[in-house]
Copies of this chain bind each other. A is one copy, B any other.
Amino acid sequence: MSENKPLILITNDDGYSAKGIAELTKMATLFGDVYVVAPAVGMSGMSQAISLSNPLRSELLSSQPGLVIHKLTGTPADCIKFGIDKITPRKPDVVLSGINHGSNATANVFYSGTMGAALEGAMNGIPSIGVSLCSFDADADFSVVTKHTQTILNCVIKNYLGKPICLNVNFPDVKEQDFKGIKVCRQANGYWHGAFDERLTPYQQKYYWLTGNFVNHDEGQTDTDEWALQNGFASVVPTIINITAFDQMAELSNNLK
């Protein structure tokens, strides 16, 4: 592979065979040399989990000029660590994660394996972009996403190489003519109120599926990612990798005396 092109490491959390990562990979080859290290199976909701109890296996799926694809029996964050340590010929210039089938806006950023991988990239000092589409359809139309993610990737390559910026990018599930543009936002303050769907096995034992209802404390606030998505914009939320609540430190110190 050429040495003057950006080296792009890609993963996702829906697994190597998902349509979203195929579309993102195709787009990324327009920008640089691409290495894909993607989970062997679906890893939705895996957050930034890493494999401490189980060893991993990888398999080379294809190798051609400018594009090498592996699958790995690990989490999205594992894939980034493994990609950097074992697969790419040098430290990647950019990490891309996605395109996720489903929103990773608001509190989803904490549960998302897609964003777990992007945070992992940023911790390694690499500008990282998690990209998601607000549709769970396995055959979703990613054309608006791939078109406009190019603008964001161009911006990152031009301005942020070598900087650990981490972007949580979400697209509404709209056609091009209804797409309103890209909007830098803050994460809406909200959370998933967990609810469990109780069922019985054929053997009359109880089991539970996690479900939930999203509670938005920022309903109607126009500077949030949730508002952007509901109004036809792609949301871009820059995220941090140090979660200290600096503004609580003084009071807490005082209260602990």
Chain A positions within 8 Å of B, measured between CB atoms, are 42, 44-53, 55-58, 74, 77-78, 80-82, 84-86, 107, 109-111, 113, 116, 119, 123-124, 151-152, 155, 158-159, 165-167, 182, 184, 186-187, 189, 191-196, 199, 205-210, 212, 236-246, 248-249, 252-253, 255-256
Q: Taking the nearest CB of chain B, how far is it from the CB of A68, in angstroms?
A: 17
- Determine the distance from Cα of A29 to Cα of B118 in the docked complex, in whole angstroms: 40
- Residues of the B chain whose Cβ atoms lie less than 8 Å from the Cβ of A212: 81
- Residues of the B chain whose Cβ atoms lie less than 8 Å from the Cβ of A166: 245
A244 touches B236 (CB 8 A): no
- Residues of the B chain whose Cβ atoms lie less than 8 Å from the Cβ of A124: 191, 193
For residue A124, which residue of chain B has the nearest CB?
B191
- Residues of the B chain whose Cβ atoms lie less than 8 Å from the Cβ of A56: 196, 207-210
Number of copies: 2
For residue A82, which residue of chain B has the nearest CB?
B196
Given that A191-B123, A255-B159 are known contacts, is A53 also in contact with B47, CB under 8 Å in the complex? no
Contact of A44 among B52, B57, B195 (CB under 8 A): B52
For residue A152, which residue of chain B has the nearest CB?
B256
For residue A224, which residue of chain B has the nearest CB?
B244
A196 touches B86 (CB 8 A): yes
A244 touches B252 (CB 8 A): no
B123 touches A107 (CB 8 A): yes
Contact of A50 among B45, B242, B252 (CB under 8 A): B45
- Residues of the B chain whose Cβ atoms lie less than 8 Å from the Cβ of A255: 155, 158-159
For residue A112, which residue of chain B has the nearest CB?
B48
For residue A166, which residue of chain B has the nearest CB?
B245
B240 touches A244 (CB 8 A): yes
A49 touches B111 (CB 8 A): yes
- Determine the distance from Cα of A165 to Cα of B255 in the docked complex, in whole angstroms: 13
Given that A111-B50, A152-B256, A248-B165 are known contacts, is A55 also in contact with B242, CB under 8 Å in the complex? no
Contact of A110 among B119, B196, B207, B245 (CB under 8 A): B119
